[in-house]
Amino acid sequence: MSELSIYDRIGALRVVPVVAIESVDDAVPLADALIEGGLPVAEITFRTAAAADAIRTLRQERPQLLIGAGTVTNPDQARSAKECGAEFAVAPGFNPRVVKAAHDVGLPFSPGIMTPTDIEAALEAGVQVLKFFPAGAAGGLKMLKSLAAPYAHLGVRFIPTGGVSLDNVMEYLGELSVLAAGGTWLAKKDDIANGRWEKITENCRKVRKLLS
C-alpha cells in the first residue's frame, strides 16, 4: 500500500488511538473494541516488550485494522515494525537515521517535531507528515498554528499528540494543517490491562459522534 493511501486513511479517520500493550493476549480484544467503536486504527508504542508481537498478531488476526508502530526511536525498531506488519510508524523526535531506515524499508514514517528547525530538518529528509509532540506542553494549538504558518505552502501536515483529549480534540482538528490527532485517552494502559473493552469502545464512539 502506498504512503499516500496510508495517510489518506489516517486523515479520513481523523483520530488515532495511541496504545501501550503489556500482553499480546490483549491485542485482539483491544482491536475489536476499537473497531466496534468506529476507530479501526491503532498506534502501538514500542514502550513495551509486547509491542512487536502485538503488531504481528493483529496483522494476522485483524487485517482490517490500520496498524502503526509508535515510539520508534532507532533504526532497528523501524525495521522491526515493518517486518511485524506495521503500516506506518511514528516517533517522539526527529532522528535522521530512523527516518532513513524507515524509508529504506518502505515504511511511512512521521517523526516528532517541536520547533521550526525540526520541521526544516524533516523537510530536508523528504518527510511532510509530522508528529507535533508533546502538543500540550509545547504550547498547544496556538503554538501549532504559529509553527505551521511559514510552511503551509509546502504541504506540511501535523499529527498533534500529547495532551490531546476529548475536550480539545476538535479544536486541533479544526486547524487546516492537522491531518489527524493522536490520543492515549481512548485506550488507556490501565483499561487495556484490566480488560475494560466496553469503556474503550465507548471512548471511540464519543469521538466518532463529535466527528459526525
> What's the residue count for the chain?
212
131 part of the active site: yes
Cα–Cα distance, 18 to 43 (Å, whole number)? 5
Q: Kindly name the residue from 43, 82, 87, 188 that is annotated as catalytic.
A: 43
Strands 112-113 and 88-90, how do they pair?
unpaired
- Is the CB of residue 46 less than 8 Å from the CB of residue 81? yes
Q: Reduced to 3 states, what is the DSSP secondary structure of residue 178?
A: strand
Which three cell numbers, joined as nine digits, stand for 148? 505551521
Rounded to the nearest 5°, which phi and psi values hold at 151?
Answer: -115, 5
209 part of the active site: no
Cα–Cα distance, 160 to 10 (Å, whole number)? 13
Q: Kindly name the residue from 22, 131, 171, 206 that is annotated as catalytic.
A: 131
| CA proximity to 102, closest of 63, 73, 62, 123 | 73
179 secondary structure, DSSP code: -
| CA proximity to 181, closest of 163, 211, 160 | 160
Annotated active-site positions, please? 43, 131
